[in-house]
């Protein structure tokens, strides 16, 4: 059927609304507290929706249906761990961040270990966010390329510039409120797709459910002890918990939202609610994947299974009517924009709070710092667009969803390990901590290259390695001091 002029009009109107929102909130930015924390005045329910929108991205919209299309519902087991992680964080790290009045979680490390560790983890965050968000930008550009037929390189540039523009103008407040709109568009697009599929499959919902059970598509629990299986119960609960604690406890793009609440109670409520909200969201897109599987049993599929990420976008363009496909694709772009704008604002806020202000000479006015913050948003936007080009080279690693999550897992474990050390009462040498974290990252890379261990275990391995080596050095050091004093 193809993408019509009316579909393009729907998309252009959507992009225009986002830019207008950014322009509106730009008038209310007085200082970096407004630009990066929204003046700590955002309602917690809005924050919760924004958290879900931020972590969703286009990887969920096109990647989750691809997983259930090929396999089953076992991906949902990760959500169990994600919820456990948020409950733990709401009672531990988030409380320290909020009452410490920090702009970033890395400022907590400055208080605990000093600048050396804080700077190291800040740089780790830069690397992690550039890698993960670059893959996300590539993922949504892949969708635009499939829909329109234009080069994926131009797709990356168009989407990247749009996200940079409204983030540059409106700061975190614009980002959060556009996230709410984008989350609505995402769910609306998913629901429309579900209804269209149900209408196109003979036998309707009853046939879909019957076929789903008979083919094992609705299987969601796997108690296998095989570490090469990414979506087992143990990988989901253990790996999902550690990954979730790292992403929502050490990644500024998510922590920043939590810190915009009016009080600690609001931060806690927003975080826990987001863990509940992602479960029905995952179920929706997993169910769409099963419906696509059933639909293409009786219809020709011109896309090889090795490129399953292209199946859902292709269905939207070829099987859904004019105008409606534009609305659904707007939902896909919503998922992409909500993660990109978060990354841009988080990268800029970390640069300002943890690197520029502590090391700049002379006192800068709020207006000057705000101007620099906006320029940094442009700078990081260029970096993300550049890495999205590089991400094209990684497309043979697996589905875009697994690429995005596994890339973040390389550093997330070691980052969380450092924060856990910061919560302990023990004293650690800053260079030992940095050495331990580097060892953890290198070990995870070794595991990825030379073993078949699945990505949910990467953060667990990195975290345990970092904590173990740090405590081992501490033990040896204390033993040596004890012997020398005898």
Q: What angle do CA 49, 47, 63 make, to 5 degrees?
A: 35
The answer to whether 320 touches 138, Cβ cutoff 8 Å, is no
Q: What is the pLDDT of residue 486?
A: 44
Question: Which DSSP letter does residue 362 get?
Answer: S
For residue 430, pLDDT beyond 80: yes
Tell me the per-residue pLDDT of 236-247, one tens digit each, with 9 for 90 and over: 999 999 999 999
Which of the two residues, 247 and 152, has the higher pLDDT score? 247
Q: Which of 261-270, 342-351, 387-396 has the highest mean pLDDT?
A: 261-270
Which of the two residues, 321 and 482, has the higher pLDDT score? 321
Tell me the per-residue pLDDT of 168-190, one tens digit each, with 9 for 90 and over: 776 777 778 877 887 888 888 88
In whole angstroms, give the CA distance from residue 252 to residue 345: 9
Q: What is the pLDDT of residue 394?
A: 64
The owner of tokens 């707007």 is 330
Domain residue spans of the chain: 5-414
In whole angstroms, give the CA distance from residue 410 to residue 56: 19
- 215 CB neighbour count, 10 Å cutoff: 14
The answer to whether 63 touches 332, Cβ cutoff 8 Å, is no
Q: What is the pLDDT of residue 400?
A: 56
The answer to whether 473 touches 454, Cβ cutoff 8 Å, is no
Which of the two residues, 309 and 59, has the higher pLDDT score? 309
Q: What is the pLDDT of residue 109?
A: 93
Question: Which DSSP letter does residue 394 get?
Answer: G
In whole angstroms, give the CA distance from residue 252 to residue 247: 9
Q: What share of the chain is helix, strand, coil (3-state, %, to 5)?
A: 80, 0, 15
b or e along 148-179 (b: 16 or more beta carbons within 10 Å of the residue's beta carbon)?
beeebeebbeebbebbbbbbbbbbbbbbbbbb
- Mean local confidence (pLDDT), 343-353: 89
pTM: 0.87
Smallest CA-to-CA distance from 318 within 345, 350, 295 is with 295
SS3 42: strand
| Lowest model confidence (mean pLDDT) among 123-132, 205-214, 319-328 | 319-328
Which of the two residues, 362 and 429, has the higher pLDDT score? 429
Contacting residues for 203 by C-beta, under 8 A, at least 6 apart: 210
Residue 298 φ then ψ, to 5°: -115, 5
Question: Which DSSP letter does residue 105 get?
Answer: T
Average model confidence (pLDDT) across the chain: 84
Which of the two residues, 3 and 274, has the higher pLDDT score? 274
Q: Is residue 192 very low, low, confident or very high in pLDDT (cuts 50, 70, 90)?
A: confident
**Largest Cα–Cα separation, the chain:** 84
Q: What is the pLDDT of residue 417?
A: 97
Answer positive or negative: Cα dihedral of 418, 421, 422, 426: negative
User: In CATH terms, is domain 5-414 a member of 3.30.450.20?
Assistant: no
Rg (CA), the chain: 22
The answer to whether 125 touches 299, Cβ cutoff 8 Å, is no
Q: What is the pLDDT of residue 9?
A: 77
Q: What is the pLDDT of residue 293?
A: 92
Q: What is the pLDDT of residue 30?
A: 63
Tell me the per-residue pLDDT of 387-407, one tens digit each, with 9 for 90 and over: 888 877 766 555 555 666 667
Smallest CA-to-CA distance from 285 within 48, 54, 66, 50 is with 66
Helices 264-295 and 152-200 cross at an angle (nearest 10°) of 70
Tell me the per-residue pLDDT of 60-110, one tens digit each, with 9 for 90 and over: 777 889 899 998 999 999 999 999 999 999 999 999 998 888 889 999 999
DSSP element (H, E) containing 20:
helix 5-26
In whole angstroms, give the CA distance from residue 467 to residue 66: 36
Smallest CA-to-CA distance from 178 within 28, 23, 356 is with 23
In whole angstroms, give the CA distance from residue 348 to residue 357: 12
Q: What does each C-alpha distance from 221 to 233, 288, 321 come to in angstroms?
A: 6, 19, 36
Strand partners, 42: 261
Tell me the per-residue pLDDT of 450-483, one tens digit each, with 9 for 90 and over: 999 998 999 999 999 999 999 999 888 876 665 5
- 9 CB neighbour count, 10 Å cutoff: 12
Return the percentage of the chain with pLDDT > 70, whole number: 87
Q: What is the pLDDT of residue 480?
A: 63
Q: What angle do CA 425, 426, 431 make, to 5 degrees?
A: 130
């Amino acid at each position: 059927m193809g993408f019509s002029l009316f579909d393009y009009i729907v998309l252009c109107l959507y992009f225009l609304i986002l830019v207008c929102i950014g322009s509106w909130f730009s008038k209310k930015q007085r200082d970096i507290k407004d630009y990066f924390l929204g003046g700590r005045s955002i309602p917690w329910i809005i924050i919760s929706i924004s958290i879900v929108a931020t972590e969703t991205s286009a990887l969920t919209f096109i990647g989750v249906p691809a997983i259930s299309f090929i396999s089953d519902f076992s991906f949902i087991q990760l959500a169990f761990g994600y919820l456990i992680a948020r409950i733990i964080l709401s009672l531990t790290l988030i409380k320290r961040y909020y009452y410490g009045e920090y702009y970033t979680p890395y400022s907590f490390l400055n208080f605990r270990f000093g600048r050396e560790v804080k700077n190291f983890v800040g740089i780790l965050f830069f690397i992690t966010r550039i890698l993960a968000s670059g893959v996300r930008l590539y993922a949504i550009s892949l969708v635009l390329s499939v829909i329109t037929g234009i080069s994926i390189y131009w797709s990356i540039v168009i989407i990247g510039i749009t996200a940079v523009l409204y983030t540059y103008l409106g700061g975190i407040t614009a980002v959060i409120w556009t996230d709410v709109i984008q989350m609505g568009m995402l769910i609306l697009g998913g629901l429309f797709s579900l209804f269209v599929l149900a209408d196109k499959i003979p036998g309707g919902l009853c046939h879909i459910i019957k076929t789903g059970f008979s083919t094992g598509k609705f299987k969601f629990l796997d108690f296998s002890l095989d570490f090469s299986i990414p979506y087992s119960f143990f990988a989901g609960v253990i790996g999902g918990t550690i990954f979730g604690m790292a992403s929502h406890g050490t990644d500024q793009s998510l922590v920043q939202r939590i810190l915009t609440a009016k009080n600690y109670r609001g931060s806690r409520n927003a975080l826990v609610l987001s863990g509940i909200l992602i479960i029905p969201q995952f179920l929706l897109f997993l169910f769409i994947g099963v419906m696509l599987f059933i639909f293409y049993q009786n219809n020709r599929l011109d896309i090889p299974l090795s490129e399953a990420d292209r199946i859902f976008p292709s269905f939207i363009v070829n099987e859904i009517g004019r105008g409606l496909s534009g609305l659904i694709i707007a939902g896909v772009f919503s998922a992409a924009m909500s993660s990109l704008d978060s990354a841009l604002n988080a990268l800029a806020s970390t640069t300002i709070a943890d690197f520029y202000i502590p090391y700049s000479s002379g006192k800068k006015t709020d207006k000057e710092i705000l101007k620099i913050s906006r320029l940094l948003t442009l700078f990081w936007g260029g970096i993300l667009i550049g890495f999205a080009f590089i991400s094209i080279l990684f497309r043979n690693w697996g589905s875009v969803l697994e690429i995005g999550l596994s890339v973040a897992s390389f550093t997330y474990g070691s980052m969380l390990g450092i924060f856990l050390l910061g919560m302990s009462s023990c004293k650690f040498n800053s260079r030992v901590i940095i050495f331990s974290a580097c060892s953890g990252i290198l070990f995870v890379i070794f595991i990825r290259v030379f073993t078949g261990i699945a990505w949910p275990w990467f953060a667990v391995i990195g975290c345990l390695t970092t904590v173990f080596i740090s405590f081992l050095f501490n033990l040896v050091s204390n033993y040596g001091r004890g012997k020398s004093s005898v």
